[in-house]
Amino acid sequence: DGLTGLPNQRLFLERVQGAIERTKQQNKYLFAVLFLDLDRFKVVNDSLGHLLGNQLLIEISHRLKSVLRVGDIVARFGGDEFTILLEEIEDISTAIQVAERIKKVLALPFQLNEHRVFTNASIGIALSKVDYEQAAQILRDADVAMYCAKSLGKARYEVFDRKMHEGASLLLELETALRNALLKQEEFRLDYQPIISLITGKLIGFEALIRWHHPERGLISPQDFIPLAEETGMIVSIGQWVLYEACHQMHKWHKQFPSSLPLTISVNFSGKQITQPDVFKEVKHILQETGLKPCSLKLEITETFLMDNFELAITVLSQLAALNVEMHMDDFGTGYSSLNYLHRLPIKTLKIDRSFVNNIGSRGENLEIVRAIVTLAHNLNMSVTAEGIETVEQLAQLKALQCDYGQGYFFLPAMERAEVERLLAA
């Protein structure tokens, strides 16, 4: 590997193949493969760039080498993935000890120039078995275990077992179904949840929320397939479909139900979509094609994505904002935005995550957090939308805090197109 000087994927697979041959020849010969994937890293300090990523990978390879025994090898598998081969071990506990040590050395911050960077890795461990024939098989199992570690909360390790395999094949099934749905484009639908001005009490627009009607399994929640769509890159095509559909629909409603202040449409925009090279052209094109005015479109981007990709986010968001599309920060409060960053992004609105609104009425803590967010936003000339308002008490508190907009079951849930039309006609 040109960057880290570690062995590359091909070399690693050859070594694993050698270990597989030894298990076949020598009874009791055991080895293990570890699959590491870096969890998103946090930078404490200002801007971060590509260089930093490369430097970090080099530093990480040094630390990984430092925990290995003589004869073990670590390879860079590609991107931010590393693999480790532990030859001739007593039992699984050796591999677990190594994983523990890796967790420890990666938990210490990295000092790169003036930046302090925090990262860690999700680690999957697979132990050799006599029925492994190909290096790729044990690697796949380690990868499955890594994926489990990631979904169980990151910065941890998991040892592969059969049950994981079932989980993985269910996931694979879902992936295939999602691919088909994407091709047919008949199983997706958008629902629309009203957004209300807390100051005037009036409807100002809707958030478009995707629904997937699987022919056999029924309705599948976006929480269950959006993460998979992001992982596999399918979110880019799904997102295009959502954006087109939402803009098209809102343009139709503008003509059908004219009002002095045209309703707006909020669309969830995934991080993967923002990193597409031609995202700006794409959005512009969809607006032209559907005839929707840019000022009627709001794109919601999660806080976590924005902070992890700060420099890129500034560039793309500025382009979109220059078009007159509003940018909103979704799930605000769940990430780690610093004030330093926030004012540099062309963000119009912060959407307070539902979890803060949840017990605002009963618990002092969340009330103070929401108060702080509203004050911060207003000082930065941004407005605030509270999501997940369910009770009249929550609404009263939010109004008292001068929160600008609200959305939640207290007003209305996400509704089908026909229901929206009944609402607008009334």
Return residues touching ligand C2E (CB under 6 A): 193, 209-210, 221-223, 226, 235, 239, 242, 268, 270, 330-331, 354, 387-390, 407-409, 414
Query: Cα(403)–Cα(256) distance, rounded to whole angstroms?
Result: 31
Provide the greatest CA pair distance for the chain.
81
> What is the rounded distance in angstroms from the CA atom of residue 209 to the CA atom of residue 217?
19
* Stretch binding Ca ion (CB under 5 A), from 118-126, 171-179, 297-305, 413-421: 297-305
The helix/strand/coil state of 248 is helix
- The nearer residue to ligand C2E, 222 or 294, going by C-beta atoms, is 222
Closest to ligand C2E by CB, 157 vs 206, is 206
Report the residue number, 147 or 269, with the smaller CB distance to ligand C2E: 269
Q: What are phi and psi of 260, to 5 degrees?
A: -65, -40
Nearer to ligand C2E, 60 or 243 (CB): 243
Distance of alpha carbon 277 from alpha carbon 281, whole angstroms = 9
Residue 34's binding partner among Ca ion, ligand C2E, none (Cβ under 5 to 8 angstroms by kind) is none
CB of 161 to ligand C2E, least distance (A): 30
Residue 210 CB, nearest approach to ligand C2E (Å): 4
Q: CA 324 → CA 133, 195, 268, 301, 409, distances in Å?
A: 58, 20, 17, 16, 30
Distances (CA, A) of 196 to 199, 247, 380, 396, 399: 9, 19, 22, 14, 12
Among 158, 191, 230, 331, binds Ca ion (CB under 5 A): 331
Smallest separation (angstroms) from ligand C2E to the CB of 177: 17
Per DSSP, the chain holds a count of helices (H) and strands (E) of 16, 17
- Under rule CB under 5 A, residue 330 binds Ca ion: yes
Of 385, 391, 388, the closest CA to residue 403 belongs to 385
Q: Find out whether 164 and 145 touch, Cβ atoms under 8 Å.
A: yes
Hey, which bits of 357-402 come out as E strands?
A: 383-386
Q: Which of residues 76-105 bind Ca ion (CB under 5 A)?
A: 80
Please report how close the Cβ of residue 157 comes to ligand C2E at its closest, in angstroms.
28
Q: Tokens 């009791």 appear where?
A: 28
Residue 37: which of Ca ion, ligand C2E, none does it interact with, CB under 5 to 8 A by kind? Answer: Ca ion
Q: Which residue is nearest to ligand C2E (CB)?
A: 408
144/373 with CB nearer ligand C2E = 373
What span, in angstroms and rounded, lies between the C-alpha atoms of 40 and 55?
A: 15
Q: How far is the CB of 246 from Ca ion (least distance, A)?
A: 12
Concatenate the DSSP letters of all residues of 24-77 into one string.
Answer: HHSTT---EEEEEEEPP-EEESS---HHHHHHHHHHHHHHHHHHPPTT-EEEEE
N- to C-terminal Cα distance for the chain? 65
Report what 414 binds from Ca ion, ligand C2E, none; CB cut-off 5-8 Å by kind.
ligand C2E
Q: Which is nearer to ligand C2E, 8 or 197 (CB)?
A: 197
Task: Give the C-alpha separation, 325 to 314, whole Å.
Answer: 14
Distance in Å, CB of 224 to ligand C2E, minimum = 9
- Told to check if 300 binds Ca ion by CB under 5 A, we report yes
Residue 158: CB minimum distance to Ca ion, A: 16
Task: Provide, rounded to whole angstroms, the least separation between the CB of residue 28 and Ca ion.
Answer: 35
- Choose the contact partner of 4 out of Ca ion, ligand C2E, none; CB within 5 to 8 A by kind: none
Closer to ligand C2E by Cβ: residue 159 or 238: 238
Q: Indicate the length of the chain as a whole number.
A: 426
Among residues 279, 348, 272, the alpha carbon closest in space to that of 316 is found at: 279
The answer to the question of residue 37 lying near Ca ion (CB under 5 A) is yes
Write out the residues near Ca ion by the rule CB under 5 A: 37-38, 80, 268, 300, 330-331
